[in-house]
Structure 1
């Protein structure tokens, strides 16, 4: 029995690749079921975020990695393994501990990934057994230790706050500006919170489910709007932040062009932090439209990173110790107590 992770991340693949192999929550179990039927794995979890798509698998008698690559290649339209990696056993365990702790994130030390790992595990429980349940539970405990015992996350930007740094390059201060947020999920809420903290004068939340938009808007003093009505207000906003779960672009050239025509040369900053992308690339060619996506954040996330990098040796040592503590129990499909769990 081997524990394997096979996947693609921001470390080796551009956004144009990552968005094609991203999976929605409703797809996780069907994809895992299809792979299980092909390679007869024992357990599986699929982690899909804006910056990574990874399959964590407890193999049976057959190698699971080729099946994962066939699945991703079919979705990508070209050979997926050229962008990816495979880790096994200790290396796979170490990799998950790094991921959950934010050490493998585009934004070093960011906290959102810990919740995303937890959510992926919960969503895939039907395909989990003793080995992956123990592995993912331990990864969350290790991530908590890294955050509590080092300063790796101190001062770390979220993807949303990093995106707003790009907006400040255009407008300077965002105080008094108007903004619209498309989407009402966790990333959209983080973005809205950041906007309000920046002093944005009026914030609009638009979502396909109006009740969800209204709940989010009420928590942050914003205005909720029906999704189909938001486009008529686009000419009034300075910043449009997009974070929906749509499978294809919703901010199209045809929707943005009329708004730009009515802006009288005022710049419009569009921050697309969705995967797949919410905005058609052609929108960025319009006059006075500044379009940024996740790959544009790389220059921003270096802010305060050097101080956090000083904590890497401590975090690495902590994780290495927990990998060695965890490893002896992987040969058995039962959970053995860890001293970590008692902390």
Structure 2
């Protein structure tokens, strides 16, 4: 069955385009409904930098489903997106999984996002799809333990902190508002605190989540009703929520001429574009973030050949395993069926001619003989497969 990967990402599309393909709850339900008949299931990966679909089907089927769910069309997708099949699709999935395709090379968050997408689709996936995902996860683990590709901090949250340090020089007296207490917010908060930030306020739609983050880092939690007052007091604002429309708007800011730096780390964007027109406000979105940790990134670049070797090895093992299963399993099932028919028939013939204890001994003996005969056939079939590979 043909494996395909299609999607939209930061490499080809700016944030204003990626927003159009954002998958919210309603769109996900519609997308899942329209892909329910795809054999083997579908994995939907949706992050701030990409929306991608993976499945064992023709890529046009996935493109059509995504366009229907997002009210776009195939021509528009073709202009801004990408479609891969077979080897290219496998390579792409592995590169996404290990962080080679991330905006921040070697991003540590992408594997968790991919695992979440896998978990959400797990019950509908085929055995072959499960094997593929386990191979991707294994490749990621090997890359982290066997190379320097994951060494050094280079997440988006870390980059934002580095840019803030470049701007303010010292974060200890900077009033910071963190809008969003999800995973990105937590990572960003941790980086800010570890780099000397002492005055951080967090606002989240759910006050309980804001309070939970606040207690973890000894910062202040506020309700959404306090947004304008906290914004007025802030020098640095970082937004990282899952909202599908802008939360921060021009009217939230006082006309005080105060210098403010805003990092919008969300897709769709959390900050209305008109905010950038406010005097002394600097707005930086995901497409404007430059890599601050250059040394870590350069070291990761040096590890790329080693990472590619690991991907090639794990992908080869996966394909070898699938080829083996497709060749061997049907033959083994056929032999097992014939052997079972013979042994069951012979056991039935003597079942009433011997006592129960003797029959149990004969039954166990027959089972052991059957296993040994099966082992001989499995070994023979594997040798046949190896000979076919060598001839190819």
> TM-score normalized by structure 2?
0.78
Between 1:124-133 and 1:207-216, the stretch displaced more is 124-133
Change (3 A) 1:31 1:97: same
Mean CA deviation greater in 191-200 or 163-172: 163-172
Task: Provide the C-alpha distance between the structure 1 equivalents of 2:265 and 2:299, rounded to a whole number of angstroms.
Answer: 26
What is the CA distance between 1:333 and its match in structure 2?
Answer: 8.3
Q: How far apart are the structure 1 equivalents of 2:322 and 2:249?
A: 49
Normalized per residue, which structure has more helix? Answer: 2
Equivalent-residue separation in structure 1 for 2:212 and 2:67 (angstroms):
41
Which of residues 262, 273, 281 in structure 2 aligns to 1:289? 281
Q: Using a 3 Å threshold, how does the CA distance of structure 1 residues 36 and 301 change in structure 2: closer, same or farther?
A: farther
Q: Which has the larger radius of gyration?
A: 2
Are residue 279 (structure 1) and residue 277 (structure 2) matched? no
The residue that corresponds to 1:341 in the other structure is none
Distance 1:252 1:63, change over 3 A: closer
Partner of residue 236 from structure 2, selected from 235, 239, 244: 239
Q: How many angstroms apart in 2 are the aligned matches of 1:249 and 1:77?
A: 27
Q: What is the match of residue 319 of structure 1? A: 311
C-alpha contact 1:72 1:80 (8 A) present in aligned 2: no
| Structure 2 partner of 1:42 | 40
Pairwise CA distance, 1:144: 0.8
1:212 equivalent in alignment to 2:204: no
Correspondent of 1:79 among 69, 76, 81: 76
Q: In 1, are the aligned partners of 2:31 and 2:69 still within 8 Å (CA)?
A: no
Q: How does 1:1-343 map to 2 (within 5 A)?
A: 1-24=1-24, 27-36=27-36, 40-59=38-57, 63-68=60-65, 70-71=67-68, 74-75=71-72, 79-256=76-253, 258=254, 261-262=255-256, 265-298=257-290, 300=292, 302=294, 304-330=296-322
Q: Tell me, which stretches of 5 or more residues in structure 1 are unaligned? A: 337-343
2:7 is paired with a residue of what secondary structure?
strand
Please say if residues 149 and 301 of structure 2, whose CA atoms lie closer than 8 Å, have aligned partners that are also in contact.
Answer: yes
Q: Give unpaired runs (5+ residues) of structure 2.
A: 330-392
The answer (yes or no) to whether the contact 1:176–1:201 under 8 Å persists in 2 is yes
How many angstroms does 1:328 deviate by? 2.9
8 Å Cα contact 1:90/1:323 also seen in 2: no
- The RMSD of aligned alpha carbons is 2.4
Q: For 2:2 and 2:101, how far apart are their aligned partners in 1?
A: 22
CA contact (8 A) 1:69 1:80 kept: no
Alpha-carbon distance in structure 2 between the residues aligned to 1:243 and 1:54: 21
Alpha-carbon offset, residue 28 of structure 1? 3.1
Are the aligned partners of 1:45 and 1:127 in contact in 2 as well (CA < 8 Å)?
A: no
Counterpart secondary structure, 1:47: strand
Instruction: Please report how far the alpha carbon of residue 270 of structure 1 lies from its aligned counterpart in structure 2 after TM superposition.
Output: 0.7
* Cα-to-partner distance string for 1:34-83 (whole Å, 9 max, x where unaligned): 2335xx443101001111111001228x9524424633662489711212
For the residues of structure 1 that align with 2:78 and 2:66, how far apart are their CA atoms?
6
Question: Matched residues in 2 for 1:105 and 1:169: separation?
Answer: 23
Task: State the distance in 1 between where 2:262 and 2:247 align.
Answer: 13
Change (3 A) 1:168 1:245: same
Q: How many residues align?
A: 327
Structure 1 21/224 Cα, relative in aligned 2: closer, same or farther at 3 Å? same
Q: Secondary structure at 2:71's aligned position in 1?
A: helix
TM-score, length-scaled by structure 1: 0.88
